[in-house]
Structure 1
Amino acid sequence: MTSPRRLLSLALAAPLSLATAACGDEAEGAPEGDVIAPIAAPEGQNWGETVAVSDADGYVLGNPDAPLKLVEYASHTCGGCANFAATGKPGIEEYVATGVLSFEQRNLVRDPIDLTIATLVRCGPEENMQILSDQAWENLSATFASVDQNSAAYEAAGNMPVDQRFIQIAQAAGLIDFFAARGLSADQQRQCLSDTETIERIANNSAEQSEELAINSTPTFLLNGRKLDVSSWDQLEPILQRAGARRE
Protein backbone atom coordinates (compact mmCIF):
# COMPACT_ATOMS: atom_id res chain seq x y z
CA MET A 1 0.00 0.00 0.00
CA THR A 2 1.36 3.42 -0.97
CA SER A 3 1.77 5.73 2.02
CA PRO A 4 -0.14 9.04 2.13
CA ARG A 5 3.10 11.02 1.90
CA ARG A 6 4.17 8.95 -1.08
CA LEU A 7 0.83 9.53 -2.80
CA LEU A 8 1.25 13.27 -2.41
CA SER A 9 4.91 13.53 -3.41
CA LEU A 10 5.86 10.69 -5.76
CA ALA A 11 7.00 11.14 -9.32
CA LEU A 12 3.97 9.80 -11.11
CA ALA A 13 4.04 6.58 -13.11
CA ALA A 14 1.35 5.27 -15.47
CA PRO A 15 -1.22 3.28 -13.44
CA LEU A 16 -2.37 0.83 -16.10
CA SER A 17 -1.09 -2.16 -14.15
CA LEU A 18 -3.63 -1.33 -11.46
CA ALA A 19 -6.63 -1.98 -13.71
CA THR A 20 -7.02 -5.47 -12.23
CA ALA A 21 -6.30 -5.40 -8.51
CA ALA A 22 -5.87 -8.49 -6.41
CA CYS A 23 -9.04 -9.61 -4.72
CA GLY A 24 -9.89 -11.55 -1.59
CA ASP A 25 -8.71 -11.83 1.99
CA GLU A 26 -9.08 -14.67 4.43
CA ALA A 27 -12.68 -14.70 5.65
CA GLU A 28 -13.49 -14.13 9.29
CA GLY A 29 -17.04 -15.47 8.97
CA ALA A 30 -20.37 -13.89 8.18
CA PRO A 31 -23.59 -13.52 10.17
CA GLU A 32 -26.45 -15.94 9.59
CA GLY A 33 -30.05 -15.61 10.69
CA ASP A 34 -33.73 -15.69 9.88
CA VAL A 35 -35.30 -13.46 7.25
CA ILE A 36 -35.47 -9.87 8.50
CA ALA A 37 -38.74 -8.05 7.84
CA PRO A 38 -38.53 -4.85 5.77
CA ILE A 39 -38.05 -1.64 7.74
CA ALA A 40 -40.05 1.32 6.51
CA ALA A 41 -38.32 4.63 5.96
CA PRO A 42 -39.64 7.70 7.80
CA GLU A 43 -42.57 9.36 6.09
CA GLY A 44 -41.48 11.29 3.03
CA GLN A 45 -38.11 9.54 2.86
CA ASN A 46 -36.67 6.78 0.70
CA TRP A 47 -33.85 4.54 1.90
CA GLY A 48 -32.42 4.52 -1.62
CA GLU A 49 -31.92 8.27 -1.41
CA THR A 50 -30.67 8.41 2.19
CA VAL A 51 -26.93 9.11 2.36
CA ALA A 52 -24.68 9.98 5.29
CA VAL A 53 -20.94 10.17 5.91
CA SER A 54 -19.78 7.67 8.52
CA ASP A 55 -17.22 8.12 11.29
CA ALA A 56 -14.83 6.15 9.03
CA ASP A 57 -15.33 8.81 6.30
CA GLY A 58 -17.26 6.37 4.13
CA TYR A 59 -20.50 7.20 2.33
CA VAL A 60 -23.44 5.17 3.66
CA LEU A 61 -26.45 4.53 1.44
CA GLY A 62 -29.67 3.47 3.15
CA ASN A 63 -31.02 3.00 6.66
CA PRO A 64 -28.28 4.18 9.06
CA ASP A 65 -29.67 1.76 11.67
CA ALA A 66 -29.99 -1.21 9.30
CA PRO A 67 -29.35 -4.54 11.06
CA LEU A 68 -27.06 -5.57 8.19
CA LYS A 69 -24.24 -3.17 7.36
CA LEU A 70 -22.23 -3.90 4.24
CA VAL A 71 -18.96 -2.04 3.65
CA GLU A 72 -16.89 -2.09 0.47
CA TYR A 73 -13.28 -0.94 0.40
CA ALA A 74 -12.74 0.10 -3.20
CA SER A 75 -10.18 1.71 -5.46
CA HIS A 76 -11.16 3.91 -8.38
CA THR A 77 -8.43 2.35 -10.55
CA CYS A 78 -9.45 -1.25 -9.77
CA GLY A 79 -11.00 -3.27 -12.57
CA GLY A 80 -12.62 -5.63 -10.07
CA CYS A 81 -14.29 -2.66 -8.38
CA ALA A 82 -15.51 -1.41 -11.74
CA ASN A 83 -16.98 -4.83 -12.43
CA PHE A 84 -18.75 -4.89 -9.06
CA ALA A 85 -20.18 -1.42 -9.66
CA ALA A 86 -21.69 -2.68 -12.92
CA THR A 87 -22.90 -6.09 -11.75
CA GLY A 88 -23.53 -5.66 -8.03
CA LYS A 89 -24.83 -2.17 -7.40
CA PRO A 90 -28.30 -2.73 -8.95
CA GLY A 91 -28.87 -5.68 -6.61
CA ILE A 92 -27.41 -3.81 -3.64
CA GLU A 93 -29.87 -0.97 -4.24
CA GLU A 94 -32.80 -3.39 -4.14
CA TYR A 95 -31.69 -4.73 -0.75
CA VAL A 96 -31.04 -1.20 0.54
CA ALA A 97 -34.62 -0.25 -0.41
CA THR A 98 -35.92 -2.73 2.19
CA GLY A 99 -34.23 -0.87 5.05
CA VAL A 100 -32.60 -4.11 6.17
CA LEU A 101 -29.23 -3.43 4.53
CA SER A 102 -27.05 -0.33 4.35
CA PHE A 103 -24.14 -0.05 1.94
CA GLU A 104 -21.05 1.98 2.78
CA GLN A 105 -18.32 2.78 0.27
CA ARG A 106 -14.85 3.51 1.64
CA ASN A 107 -11.62 4.36 -0.14
CA LEU A 108 -8.59 2.11 -0.40
CA VAL A 109 -6.33 4.49 -2.29
CA ARG A 110 -3.73 2.89 -4.57
CA ASP A 111 -2.29 5.63 -6.78
CA PRO A 112 -2.57 9.35 -7.63
CA ILE A 113 -5.35 8.90 -10.21
CA ASP A 114 -7.35 6.92 -7.64
CA LEU A 115 -6.86 9.73 -5.11
CA THR A 116 -7.84 12.32 -7.72
CA ILE A 117 -11.10 10.53 -8.54
CA ALA A 118 -11.80 9.90 -4.84
CA THR A 119 -11.54 13.65 -4.30
CA LEU A 120 -13.75 14.56 -7.25
CA VAL A 121 -16.61 12.18 -6.42
CA ARG A 122 -16.78 13.83 -2.98
CA CYS A 123 -16.76 17.31 -4.48
CA GLY A 124 -20.54 17.67 -4.86
CA PRO A 125 -23.51 16.75 -2.66
CA GLU A 126 -23.17 13.66 -0.46
CA GLU A 127 -25.96 11.85 -2.29
CA ASN A 128 -24.00 12.04 -5.56
CA MET A 129 -20.81 10.36 -4.31
CA GLN A 130 -21.68 6.75 -5.09
CA ILE A 131 -23.42 7.72 -8.33
CA LEU A 132 -20.34 9.58 -9.56
CA SER A 133 -18.09 6.73 -8.41
CA ASP A 134 -20.05 4.22 -10.49
CA GLN A 135 -19.88 6.50 -13.52
CA ALA A 136 -16.12 6.94 -13.07
CA TRP A 137 -15.66 3.16 -12.93
CA GLU A 138 -17.69 2.81 -16.11
CA ASN A 139 -15.28 5.30 -17.71
CA LEU A 140 -12.12 3.63 -16.38
CA SER A 141 -10.77 2.44 -19.74
CA ALA A 142 -11.19 5.91 -21.23
CA THR A 143 -9.41 7.42 -18.22
CA PHE A 144 -6.42 5.13 -18.71
CA ALA A 145 -6.40 5.91 -22.43
CA SER A 146 -6.31 9.65 -21.69
CA VAL A 147 -3.36 9.16 -19.32
CA ASP A 148 -1.48 7.23 -22.01
CA GLN A 149 -2.21 9.94 -24.54
CA ASN A 150 -1.14 12.70 -22.14
CA SER A 151 1.64 10.82 -20.35
CA ALA A 152 4.08 13.74 -20.39
CA ALA A 153 1.59 16.06 -18.67
CA TYR A 154 0.68 13.32 -16.19
CA GLU A 155 4.30 12.66 -15.26
CA ALA A 156 5.03 16.41 -15.02
CA ALA A 157 2.37 16.68 -12.31
CA GLY A 158 4.77 14.95 -9.91
CA ASN A 159 6.97 18.05 -9.88
CA MET A 160 4.16 20.51 -9.26
CA PRO A 161 3.14 21.96 -5.87
CA VAL A 162 0.61 19.75 -4.11
CA ASP A 163 -2.19 22.30 -4.46
CA GLN A 164 -1.74 22.16 -8.26
CA ARG A 165 -0.69 18.54 -8.71
CA PHE A 166 -4.09 16.88 -8.66
CA ILE A 167 -5.59 19.48 -10.99
CA GLN A 168 -2.89 18.56 -13.49
CA ILE A 169 -3.56 14.85 -13.02
CA ALA A 170 -7.29 15.39 -13.57
CA GLN A 171 -6.63 17.34 -16.75
CA ALA A 172 -4.22 14.70 -18.10
CA ALA A 173 -6.73 11.94 -17.34
CA GLY A 174 -9.63 13.74 -19.00
CA LEU A 175 -11.46 13.96 -15.69
CA ILE A 176 -12.24 17.69 -15.71
CA ASP A 177 -14.40 17.37 -18.81
CA PHE A 178 -15.86 14.05 -17.63
CA PHE A 179 -17.11 15.41 -14.30
CA ALA A 180 -18.14 18.77 -15.79
CA ALA A 181 -20.57 16.83 -17.96
CA ARG A 182 -22.00 15.36 -14.74
CA GLY A 183 -22.70 18.57 -12.88
CA LEU A 184 -19.35 19.55 -11.34
CA SER A 185 -18.07 22.75 -12.91
CA ALA A 186 -14.40 23.00 -13.80
CA ASP A 187 -13.94 25.75 -11.20
CA GLN A 188 -15.60 23.61 -8.52
CA GLN A 189 -13.34 20.68 -9.40
CA ARG A 190 -10.21 22.80 -9.27
CA GLN A 191 -11.20 24.15 -5.88
CA CYS A 192 -11.66 20.60 -4.51
CA LEU A 193 -8.44 19.35 -6.09
CA SER A 194 -6.45 22.19 -4.52
CA ASP A 195 -7.84 21.41 -1.05
CA THR A 196 -4.77 19.60 0.25
CA GLU A 197 -6.26 19.13 3.72
CA THR A 198 -9.16 17.07 2.32
CA ILE A 199 -6.89 15.13 -0.03
CA GLU A 200 -4.52 14.27 2.81
CA ARG A 201 -7.45 13.16 4.96
CA ILE A 202 -8.67 10.75 2.28
CA ALA A 203 -5.17 9.30 1.89
CA ASN A 204 -4.55 9.08 5.64
CA ASN A 205 -7.90 7.40 6.35
CA SER A 206 -7.19 4.86 3.63
CA ALA A 207 -3.75 4.01 5.01
CA GLU A 208 -4.85 3.86 8.65
CA GLN A 209 -7.93 1.72 8.00
CA SER A 210 -6.01 -0.57 5.67
CA GLU A 211 -3.48 -1.24 8.39
CA GLU A 212 -6.03 -1.52 11.20
CA LEU A 213 -8.29 -3.95 9.33
CA ALA A 214 -5.53 -5.75 7.38
CA ILE A 215 -7.13 -4.83 4.05
CA ASN A 216 -4.73 -4.85 1.14
CA SER A 217 -6.85 -5.75 -1.88
CA THR A 218 -9.90 -4.41 -3.65
CA PRO A 219 -12.76 -4.88 -3.62
CA THR A 220 -12.88 -6.06 0.00
CA PHE A 221 -16.25 -6.45 1.72
CA LEU A 222 -17.20 -6.42 5.39
CA LEU A 223 -20.61 -7.44 6.71
CA ASN A 224 -21.34 -6.24 10.23
CA GLY A 225 -17.61 -5.75 10.69
CA ARG A 226 -16.60 -9.21 9.48
CA LYS A 227 -14.37 -9.53 6.46
CA LEU A 228 -15.76 -11.67 3.65
CA ASP A 229 -13.75 -13.89 1.33
CA VAL A 230 -15.64 -12.77 -1.78
CA SER A 231 -14.98 -10.34 -4.60
CA SER A 232 -18.05 -10.54 -6.86
CA TRP A 233 -21.81 -10.08 -6.64
CA ASP A 234 -22.65 -13.72 -7.32
CA GLN A 235 -20.52 -14.66 -4.30
CA LEU A 236 -21.78 -11.86 -2.10
CA GLU A 237 -25.54 -12.09 -2.60
CA PRO A 238 -25.98 -15.57 -1.05
CA ILE A 239 -24.15 -14.34 2.05
CA LEU A 240 -26.57 -11.41 2.37
CA GLN A 241 -29.49 -13.78 2.02
CA ARG A 242 -28.15 -16.18 4.66
CA ALA A 243 -27.79 -13.20 6.97
CA GLY A 244 -31.50 -12.42 6.56
CA ALA A 245 -31.69 -9.95 3.69
CA ARG A 246 -34.30 -10.31 0.97
CA ARG A 247 -35.20 -8.13 -1.99
CA GLU A 248 -38.60 -6.44 -2.12
Structure 2
Amino acid sequence: MIRASLLLAALALATPAIAHAKPRLAHPAQSAHPAKPNDWTRVAGATAAGGFVMGNPAARVKLVEYGSLTCPHCRHFDEVAAAPLSAYVRTGRVSWEFRSFLLSGFDIPATLTAGCNGAATFFPLLHALYAAQPDWVAKMQAIPTDRLEQIRKLPLPEQFAAIGDAAGFPAFAAARGIPAPKLVACLRNQAAADRAVLTTADGQNKYKVRGTPTFMINGVTVDYSAGPSPWAVVDTALKSSLAKVYR
Protein backbone atom coordinates (compact mmCIF):
# COMPACT_ATOMS: atom_id res chain seq x y z
CA MET A 1 0.00 0.00 0.00
CA ILE A 2 1.15 3.56 -0.73
CA ARG A 3 2.22 5.18 2.52
CA ALA A 4 1.13 8.59 3.70
CA SER A 5 4.80 9.50 3.92
CA LEU A 6 4.92 9.53 0.11
CA LEU A 7 2.17 12.12 0.02
CA LEU A 8 3.84 14.30 2.62
CA ALA A 9 7.12 14.04 0.74
CA ALA A 10 5.42 15.38 -2.38
CA LEU A 11 3.09 17.90 -0.75
CA ALA A 12 4.48 20.16 1.96
CA LEU A 13 2.51 19.95 5.18
CA ALA A 14 2.25 23.71 5.39
CA THR A 15 1.58 24.47 1.72
CA PRO A 16 -1.05 27.25 1.60
CA ALA A 17 -1.34 27.39 -2.19
CA ILE A 18 -3.55 24.55 -3.41
CA ALA A 19 -4.33 23.84 -7.07
CA HIS A 20 -7.97 23.43 -8.05
CA ALA A 21 -8.29 22.27 -11.66
CA LYS A 22 -11.17 21.17 -13.81
CA PRO A 23 -10.47 17.41 -13.61
CA ARG A 24 -11.38 14.24 -15.43
CA LEU A 25 -12.26 10.87 -14.10
CA ALA A 26 -13.90 7.67 -15.02
CA HIS A 27 -15.20 4.78 -12.99
CA PRO A 28 -17.29 4.25 -9.85
CA ALA A 29 -17.01 1.26 -7.55
CA GLN A 30 -19.18 1.16 -4.47
CA SER A 31 -20.81 -0.91 -1.79
CA ALA A 32 -23.61 0.18 0.50
CA HIS A 33 -25.53 -0.88 3.56
CA PRO A 34 -28.93 -2.62 3.38
CA ALA A 35 -31.78 -0.46 2.22
CA LYS A 36 -34.39 1.42 4.18
CA PRO A 37 -37.54 1.99 2.14
CA ASN A 38 -38.61 5.60 2.71
CA ASP A 39 -35.68 8.00 3.04
CA TRP A 40 -32.55 6.78 1.28
CA THR A 41 -30.45 9.62 2.67
CA ARG A 42 -30.44 7.62 5.92
CA VAL A 43 -28.56 4.78 4.22
CA ALA A 44 -24.78 5.14 4.00
CA GLY A 45 -21.80 2.86 3.64
CA ALA A 46 -18.09 2.73 2.99
CA THR A 47 -17.02 1.92 -0.56
CA ALA A 48 -14.34 -0.29 -2.05
CA ALA A 49 -12.80 2.81 -3.65
CA GLY A 50 -12.14 4.35 -0.24
CA GLY A 51 -15.08 6.72 -0.17
CA PHE A 52 -18.47 6.90 1.45
CA VAL A 53 -21.79 6.56 -0.37
CA MET A 54 -25.25 7.77 0.55
CA GLY A 55 -28.36 6.23 -0.95
CA ASN A 56 -29.89 3.17 -2.54
CA PRO A 57 -27.22 0.64 -3.59
CA ALA A 58 -29.49 -0.30 -6.49
CA ALA A 59 -29.90 3.29 -7.70
CA ARG A 60 -29.51 3.41 -11.45
CA VAL A 61 -27.87 6.84 -11.39
CA LYS A 62 -24.61 6.91 -9.47
CA LEU A 63 -22.83 10.19 -8.81
CA VAL A 64 -19.20 10.06 -7.71
CA GLU A 65 -17.46 13.17 -6.43
CA TYR A 66 -13.73 13.57 -5.86
CA GLY A 67 -13.36 16.46 -3.45
CA SER A 68 -10.74 18.03 -1.22
CA LEU A 69 -11.76 19.26 2.20
CA THR A 70 -9.34 22.20 1.88
CA CYS A 71 -10.68 23.20 -1.55
CA PRO A 72 -12.81 26.38 -1.50
CA HIS A 73 -14.50 25.42 -4.79
CA CYS A 74 -15.54 22.12 -3.22
CA ARG A 75 -16.86 23.99 -0.20
CA HIS A 76 -18.95 26.22 -2.45
CA PHE A 77 -20.30 23.21 -4.32
CA ASP A 78 -21.28 21.55 -1.05
CA GLU A 79 -22.95 24.73 0.15
CA VAL A 80 -25.04 24.98 -3.01
CA ALA A 81 -25.60 21.32 -3.84
CA ALA A 82 -25.95 19.38 -0.58
CA ALA A 83 -29.68 20.01 -0.17
CA PRO A 84 -30.80 19.38 -3.78
CA LEU A 85 -28.50 16.36 -4.06
CA SER A 86 -30.03 14.92 -0.90
CA ALA A 87 -33.46 15.37 -2.48
CA TYR A 88 -32.34 13.27 -5.44
CA VAL A 89 -30.85 10.61 -3.15
CA ARG A 90 -33.97 10.48 -0.96
CA THR A 91 -36.02 9.03 -3.83
CA GLY A 92 -33.76 5.99 -4.16
CA ARG A 93 -32.99 6.73 -7.81
CA VAL A 94 -29.62 8.47 -7.25
CA SER A 95 -26.69 7.56 -5.01
CA TRP A 96 -23.91 9.98 -4.08
CA GLU A 97 -20.38 8.82 -3.32
CA PHE A 98 -17.69 11.15 -1.97
CA ARG A 99 -14.01 10.24 -2.35
CA SER A 100 -11.47 12.42 -0.60
CA PHE A 101 -8.74 13.72 -2.89
CA LEU A 102 -5.72 15.00 -0.99
CA LEU A 103 -4.30 18.24 -2.35
CA SER A 104 -1.99 18.90 0.59
CA GLY A 105 -0.92 17.37 3.87
CA PHE A 106 -3.59 19.48 5.55
CA ASP A 107 -6.26 17.36 3.87
CA ILE A 108 -5.25 14.25 5.82
CA PRO A 109 -6.35 15.35 9.32
CA ALA A 110 -9.58 16.77 7.85
CA THR A 111 -10.30 13.51 6.00
CA LEU A 112 -9.59 11.46 9.11
CA THR A 113 -11.97 13.68 11.07
CA ALA A 114 -14.78 13.33 8.53
CA GLY A 115 -14.53 9.53 8.56
CA CYS A 116 -13.84 9.10 12.27
CA ASN A 117 -17.32 7.90 13.21
CA GLY A 118 -17.86 5.80 10.11
CA ALA A 119 -20.45 5.98 7.35
CA ALA A 120 -23.43 6.90 9.53
CA THR A 121 -22.10 10.39 10.31
CA PHE A 122 -19.72 10.95 7.41
CA PHE A 123 -21.93 13.25 5.34
CA PRO A 124 -23.08 15.43 8.28
CA LEU A 125 -19.43 15.84 9.32
CA LEU A 126 -18.41 16.54 5.71
CA HIS A 127 -20.97 19.34 5.44
CA ALA A 128 -19.93 20.75 8.83
CA LEU A 129 -16.24 20.71 7.88
CA TYR A 130 -16.97 22.53 4.63
CA ALA A 131 -19.08 25.11 6.44
CA ALA A 132 -16.25 25.79 8.90
CA GLN A 133 -13.44 25.43 6.33
CA PRO A 134 -12.22 29.06 6.33
CA ASP A 135 -11.73 28.94 10.09
CA TRP A 136 -9.82 25.67 10.42
CA VAL A 137 -7.74 26.14 7.27
CA ALA A 138 -6.68 29.55 8.59
CA LYS A 139 -5.66 27.94 11.88
CA MET A 140 -3.55 25.37 10.04
CA GLN A 141 -1.87 27.98 7.90
CA ALA A 142 -1.17 30.12 10.98
CA ILE A 143 0.96 27.46 12.66
CA PRO A 144 4.35 29.10 13.28
CA THR A 145 7.23 27.90 11.15
CA ASP A 146 9.23 26.67 14.12
CA ARG A 147 6.26 24.65 15.33
CA LEU A 148 5.85 23.14 11.86
CA GLU A 149 9.47 22.09 11.89
CA GLN A 150 8.89 20.36 15.23
CA ILE A 151 5.78 18.63 13.85
CA ARG A 152 7.67 17.35 10.80
CA LYS A 153 10.08 15.52 13.08
CA LEU A 154 7.27 13.55 14.74
CA PRO A 155 6.08 10.12 13.56
CA LEU A 156 3.42 10.53 10.88
CA PRO A 157 0.42 9.67 13.11
CA GLU A 158 1.60 12.29 15.59
CA GLN A 159 1.97 14.81 12.77
CA PHE A 160 -1.67 14.34 11.80
CA ALA A 161 -2.77 14.62 15.44
CA ALA A 162 -0.73 17.79 15.95
CA ILE A 163 -2.10 19.48 12.83
CA GLY A 164 -5.62 18.39 13.71
CA ASP A 165 -5.22 19.78 17.19
CA ALA A 166 -4.01 23.11 15.80
CA ALA A 167 -7.10 23.18 13.58
CA GLY A 168 -9.36 22.61 16.58
CA PHE A 169 -10.69 19.28 15.34
CA PRO A 170 -11.00 17.59 18.77
CA ALA A 171 -13.34 20.36 20.00
CA PHE A 172 -15.11 20.43 16.62
CA ALA A 173 -15.80 16.70 16.84
CA ALA A 174 -16.79 16.82 20.52
CA ALA A 175 -19.47 19.40 19.69
CA ARG A 176 -20.89 16.88 17.21
CA GLY A 177 -21.00 13.82 19.44
CA ILE A 178 -17.50 12.37 18.93
CA PRO A 179 -15.47 12.41 22.16
CA ALA A 180 -12.18 14.24 21.78
CA PRO A 181 -10.09 11.16 22.75
CA LYS A 182 -11.78 9.17 19.98
CA LEU A 183 -11.06 11.90 17.46
CA VAL A 184 -7.41 12.02 18.51
CA ALA A 185 -7.23 8.25 18.02
CA CYS A 186 -8.69 8.70 14.53
CA LEU A 187 -6.10 11.36 13.73
CA ARG A 188 -3.39 8.88 14.73
CA ASN A 189 -4.85 6.09 12.59
CA GLN A 190 -2.06 5.37 10.11
CA ALA A 191 -4.08 2.74 8.26
CA ALA A 192 -6.90 5.23 7.60
CA ALA A 193 -4.37 7.80 6.40
CA ASP A 194 -2.87 5.22 4.06
CA ARG A 195 -6.32 4.45 2.65
CA ALA A 196 -6.87 8.15 1.94
CA VAL A 197 -3.52 8.35 0.15
CA LEU A 198 -4.37 5.27 -1.90
CA THR A 199 -7.74 6.75 -2.90
CA THR A 200 -5.95 9.88 -4.09
CA ALA A 201 -3.32 7.85 -5.96
CA ASP A 202 -6.04 5.79 -7.65
CA GLY A 203 -7.77 8.99 -8.68
CA GLN A 204 -4.56 10.33 -10.19
CA ASN A 205 -3.27 7.16 -11.80
CA LYS A 206 -6.41 5.28 -12.84
CA TYR A 207 -8.85 8.12 -13.46
CA LYS A 208 -6.51 11.02 -14.36
CA VAL A 209 -7.92 13.29 -11.67
CA ARG A 210 -5.91 16.49 -11.63
CA GLY A 211 -7.98 18.76 -9.41
CA THR A 212 -11.13 19.21 -7.42
CA PRO A 213 -14.03 19.00 -7.51
CA THR A 214 -14.41 16.24 -10.10
CA PHE A 215 -17.69 14.48 -10.84
CA MET A 216 -18.84 11.49 -12.82
CA ILE A 217 -22.26 10.01 -13.38
CA ASN A 218 -22.47 6.32 -14.20
CA GLY A 219 -18.80 6.32 -15.14
CA VAL A 220 -18.91 9.37 -17.39
CA THR A 221 -17.01 12.50 -16.38
CA VAL A 222 -19.14 15.62 -16.03
CA ASP A 223 -17.38 18.48 -17.82
CA TYR A 224 -18.57 21.68 -16.18
CA SER A 225 -15.86 23.94 -17.62
CA ALA A 226 -18.28 25.73 -19.96
CA GLY A 227 -21.23 25.75 -17.60
CA PRO A 228 -22.66 28.52 -15.45
CA SER A 229 -21.60 26.60 -12.32
CA PRO A 230 -20.56 23.06 -11.39
CA TRP A 231 -23.88 22.34 -9.68
CA ALA A 232 -25.95 23.66 -12.60
CA VAL A 233 -24.11 21.31 -14.96
CA VAL A 234 -24.26 18.33 -12.56
CA ASP A 235 -27.96 18.95 -11.97
CA THR A 236 -28.67 18.96 -15.70
CA ALA A 237 -26.61 15.79 -16.15
CA LEU A 238 -28.51 14.05 -13.33
CA LYS A 239 -31.85 14.95 -14.89
CA SER A 240 -30.66 13.67 -18.27
CA SER A 241 -29.42 10.40 -16.77
CA LEU A 242 -32.64 9.88 -14.81
CA ALA A 243 -34.69 10.41 -17.97
CA LYS A 244 -32.65 7.77 -19.78
CA VAL A 245 -32.62 5.03 -17.17
CA TYR A 246 -36.08 5.51 -15.64
CA ARG A 247 -38.25 5.61 -18.74
Distance 1:145 1:133, change over 3 A: same
Which residue of the other structure, out of 67, 76, 81, is the alignment partner of 1:88? 81
Aligned counterparts of 1:213 and 1:11: Cα–Cα separation in 2: 20
Matched, 1:200 2:198: no
1:143 aligns with 2:141: no
Superposed displacement of residue 63, structure 1? 0.5
| Percentage of matched positions with identical amino acids | 27
Please identify, of 170-179 and 67-76, the stretch whose mean Cα deviation from structure 2 is larger.
170-179
Residues 106 and 140 of structure 2 are in contact (CA less than 8 Å); yes or no, is this contact kept in structure 1? Answer: no
Q: Give the aligned partner of residue 222 of structure 1.
A: 216
CA distance in 2: counterparts of 1:11 and 1:99, whole angstroms = 39
C-alpha distance in 2, partners of 1:49/1:194?
28
Native 8 Å contact 2:4 2:193 kept in 1? no
Match of 2:51 among 42, 46, 58: 58
Q: CA deviation at 1:22?
A: 2.2
Q: Does residue 234 of the first structure (1) align with residue 229 of the second (2)? A: no
Specify the SS of the correspondent of 1:106: strand
Matched residue of 1:160: which SS?
Answer: coil
Q: Which has the higher contact order (CA 8 A, sep 6+)?
A: 1
Residue 23 of structure 1 aligns with which residue? 21
Q: 1:7 corresponds to which letter in structure 2?
A: L
In 1, distance between residues paired with 2:235 and 2:11?
41
Aligned to 2:30: none
Aligned to 2:172: 178
Check 1:124–1:117 CA distance in 2 against 1; reply closer, same or farther (3 A cut).
same
1:120 to partner: Cα distance: 1.1
Q: Secondary structure at the match of 1:60?
A: strand
CA RMSD of aligned residues (A): 2.5
> Offset of 1:182 from its aligned partner?
1.3
Give me the whole-angstrom Cα distance separating, in 1, the residues matched to 2:11 and 2:25. 36
- Out of 24, 46, 58, the position equivalent to 2:39 is 46
Partner of 1:14: 14
Deviation of residue 201 (structure 1)?
Answer: 1.6
Q: Which runs of no fewer than 5 residues in structure 2 stay unpaired?
A: 27-33
Task: Say whether the 8 Å CA contact 2:11–2:104 is kept in structure 1.
Answer: no
Other structure's SS at 1:243 match: helix
Cα separation, partners in 2 of 1:10 and 1:220, compared to 1, 3 Å: closer
Name structure 1 gaps, 5 residues minimum: 29-40
**Equivalent pairs, count:** 231
Contact 1:151-1:172 at 8 Å conserved across structures: no
Deviation at 1:9, TM superposition (A): 5.1
Distance in 2, Cα, partners of 1:126 & 1:27: 23
Deviates more, 1:84-93 or 1:236-245: 236-245
| Distance in 1, Cα, partners of 2:218 & 2:239 | 14
